[in-house]
């Protein structure tokens, strides 16, 4: 057994990789070792008056965390600043205009404007008031220009619908980087 006691490990260029405060509190100083960037955002204010059967981008207007500023609440885009594989997930709470007003709901994940995953809830000739739809994916991102957006759609038979927002994050969007994948 060989043991080396040290509080800071740097490369020869003096870039810190890992450090400790000497009491076992550990700090990772290189992004390759972290599941970062990561973020989670949610829709706090509902998007209402949406057109029947039309894809609508969800602009998640509030953030739970976003230390690396990789999500933009103005345009709904996740644009990571590090290349790698990311686990990306989203859920939409889609609300019809009234009882028995919805028979189709779907959520789509887009990368650079192209759909890469979707999840559809289709209830045929039955109609309900609301449903939640969820999508998850592992996505390869280039760390510069690649971005992810989330879209939703409902079939309400003609009437307006909404993407429901609230403070308990029923509609959310998040991602984190997988290490070494």
Minimum Å distance from CB 106 to another protein?
A: 8
Per-residue contact string for residues 140-169; x = within reach of another protein by CB under 8 A: x-----------------------------
Q: Which residue of 118, 130, 157, 160 would you call a contact of another protein, by CB under 8 A?
A: 118
Work out whether 123 is an interface residue with another protein (CB under 8 A).
yes
Annotate 101-127 with b (16+ C-beta within 10 A) or e (fewer): bbbbbbbbbbbeeeeebebebeeeeeb
Minimum Å distance from CB 89 to another protein?
A: 9
For the CA atoms of 162, 165, 171, 172, the dihedral, rounded to the nearest 10 degrees, stands at 130
Work out whether 54 is an interface residue with another protein (CB under 8 A).
no
Q: Check: CB of residue 162 under 8 Å from CB of residue 52.
A: no
Q: CA 49, 54, 55: angle at the middle one, nearest 5?
A: 100
Work out whether 6 is an interface residue with another protein (CB under 8 A).
yes
Work out whether 170 is an interface residue with another protein (CB under 8 A).
no
Work out whether 83 is an interface residue with another protein (CB under 8 A).
no
Q: Which residue of 46, 49, 87, 152 would you call a contact of another protein, by CB under 8 A?
A: 87
3-state secondary structure of 155: strand
Q: Which residue of 95, 133, 148, 169 would you call a contact of another protein, by CB under 8 A?
A: 133
SS3 content of the chain, % helix, strand, coil (to 5): 0, 50, 50
What whole-number distance in Å separates Cα of residue 62 and Cα of residue 64? 7
- Applying CB under 8 A, which residues contact another protein? 1-2, 4-15, 17-18, 30, 32-33, 35, 85, 87, 115-126, 133-138, 140, 178-181
């Amino acid at each position: 057994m060989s043991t080396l006691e040290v509080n800071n490990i740097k490369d020869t260029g003096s870039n810190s990789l890992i450090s400790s405060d000497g009491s076992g509190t550990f700090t990772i100083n290189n992004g390759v070792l972290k599941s970062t960037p990561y973020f989670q955002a949610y829709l706090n204010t509902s998007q209402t008056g949406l057109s029947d059967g039309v894809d609508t981008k969800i602009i998640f207007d509030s953030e739970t965390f976003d230390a690396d500023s990789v999500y933009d609440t103005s345009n709904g885009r996740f644009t990571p600043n590090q290349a790698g594989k990311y686990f990306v997930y989203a859920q939409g709470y889609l609300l019809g205009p009234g009882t028995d007003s919805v028979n189709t709901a779907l959520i789509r994940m887009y990368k650079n404007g192209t759909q890469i995953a979707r999840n559809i809830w289709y209830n045929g000739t039955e109609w309900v008031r609301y449903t939640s739809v969820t999508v998850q994916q592992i996505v390869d991102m280039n760390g510069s220009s690649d971005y992810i957006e989330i879209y939703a759609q409902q079939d309400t038979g003609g009437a307006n619908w909404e993407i429901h927002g609230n403070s308990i994050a029923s509609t959310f969007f998040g991602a984190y980087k997988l290490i070494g994948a």
